[in-house]
């Protein structure tokens, strides 16, 4: 080829193979979040652990992700998305081994922490590769990445529906190892030079609105995956919960793609109503048909919230200066996933699952208020 250096670096990133790879990695990453959800009721029966203790186990994953985002930001500045993706997959595989060979809650917690560390690296590797490859189409392309993550939310519960504790994680580990092959063989060029750290972006009202919005979106996801399965486990088995969550993930994926064609602020405001209403209905009811309807409503809300929060961030910070903002925004968002089981578990133990929606409602009110203030600035 006789193209310039910059064009030569971008060409492989625009190939169909790389696009499919990034979408596939997003799905695989998300499956690591949700594979544990159908396993929780069985683990509770096996160990006698309370909702609070199991909430702490679930919270180990997002805690590791917070550190993974920091590690990923360093790697992106010094290396490339390809290197970051390789590191992320290796860490996820190491954590998966802990579930295959582990035998107690403490070991499982450490394994989830390591898996979360790898997941944080995967998220940033996928995100920065996408932003570099499709300039000017960041919002639309990221909505598709979120759809891929939602598809992974379907894969995770299906894997989790495999009987026992080790089976789901052994199947997931096999997929992670398979994913290493294209990551190591496809040429992903270094694109970190296109992204500059800029702490000034963190002071903008738009960034603050985006940060609160993503915290709400991921808090909702964490509540769905880390708290409500124990409620559903009173009438549904492990496989049935897996199917229910897989169906919900389809709804989330479709909503996320649709949201990419509408103004992000409007999508966020609509999402707050849908998520809170869906969770309130699910927590207050003990009827399976009502649960199905409630998760369909909440799933639409989560899909709109994920894409909308990303759109608000991209509107507030130019992609070339988004490195610092993206790392911190991701960390703030995943703190919502961390907070969901840590707060929702004790609330469910003390007041019942109907009260869990109140926690989500408070975050929704904060997101709407911050969004309104930033709009007036």
pLDDT tens digits, 196-212: 677 888 989 999 999 99
Which pLDDT does position 205 carry in this prediction? Answer: 92
Q: Which of 70, 68, 22, 127 is nearest to 324 (CA)?
A: 70
pLDDT tens digits, 132-156: 777 778 888 888 898 888 788 778 8
* Mean of all residue pLDDT scores within the chain: 86
Look up the pTM and report it: 0.81
Which pLDDT does position 289 carry in this prediction? Answer: 96
Distances (CA, A) of 157 to 126, 204, 207, 295: 22, 38, 33, 14
Helix (H, G, I), strand (E, B) or coil at 252: helix
Residue 187 has pLDDT above 90, yes or no: no
Measure the CA–CA gap between 205 and 208, rounded to whole angstroms: 5
Phi-psi region of 186 (alpha: psi -120 to 50; beta: other; left: phi over 0): beta
What would the mean pLDDT of 111-123 be, rounded to a whole number? Answer: 96
Residue 191 has pLDDT above 60, yes or no: no
């Amino acid at each position: 080829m006789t193209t310039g250096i910059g064009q030569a670096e971008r060409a492989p990133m625009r190939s169909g193979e790389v696009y499919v790879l990034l979408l596939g990695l997003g799905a695989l990453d998300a499956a690591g979040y949700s594979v544990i959800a159908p396993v929780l009721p069985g683990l509770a029966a096996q160990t006698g652990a309370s909702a609070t203790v199991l909430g702490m186990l679930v919270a180990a994953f997002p805690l590791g992700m917070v550190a993974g985002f920091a590690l990923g930001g360093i790697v992106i500045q010094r290396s490339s998305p390809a290197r970051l993706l390789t590191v992320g997959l290796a860490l996820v595989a190491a954590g998966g081994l802990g579930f295959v060979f582990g035998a107690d809650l403490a070991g499982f917690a450490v394994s989830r922490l390591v898996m979360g560390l790898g997941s944080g690296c995967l998220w940033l590797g996928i995100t920065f590769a996408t932003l570099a490859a499709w300039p000017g189409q960041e919002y639309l392309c990221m909505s598709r990445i979120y759809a891929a993550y939602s598809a992974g939310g379907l894969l995770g519960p299906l894997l989790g529906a495999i009987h026992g504790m080790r089976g789901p994680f052994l199947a997931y580990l096999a997929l992670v190892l398979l994913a290493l092959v294209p990551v190591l063989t496809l040429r992903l060029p270094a694109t970190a030079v296109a992204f500059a750290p800029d702490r000034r972006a963190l002071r903008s009202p738009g960034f603050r609105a985006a940060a609160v919005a993503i915290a709400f979106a991921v808090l909702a996801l964490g509540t769905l995956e880390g708290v409500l399965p124990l409620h559903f486990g009173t009438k549904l088995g492990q496989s049935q919960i897996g199917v229910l969550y897989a169906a919900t993930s389809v709804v989330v994926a479709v909503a996320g793609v649709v949201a990419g064609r509408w103004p992000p602020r409007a999508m966020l405001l609509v999402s707050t109503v849908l998520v809170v209403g869906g969770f309130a209905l699910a927590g207050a009811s003990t009827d399976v048909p009502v649960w199905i309807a409630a998760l369909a409503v909440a799933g639409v809300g989560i899909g709109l919230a994920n894409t909308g929060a990303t759109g608000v961030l991209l509107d507030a910070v130019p992609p070339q200066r988004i490195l610092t903002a993206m790392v911190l925004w991701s960390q703030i968002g995943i703190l919502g996933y961390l907070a969901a089981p840590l707060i929702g578990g004790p609330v469910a133990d003390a007041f019942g699952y109907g009260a869990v929606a109140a926690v989500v409602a408070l975050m929704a009110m904060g997101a709407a208020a911050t969004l309104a203030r930033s709009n007036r600035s």
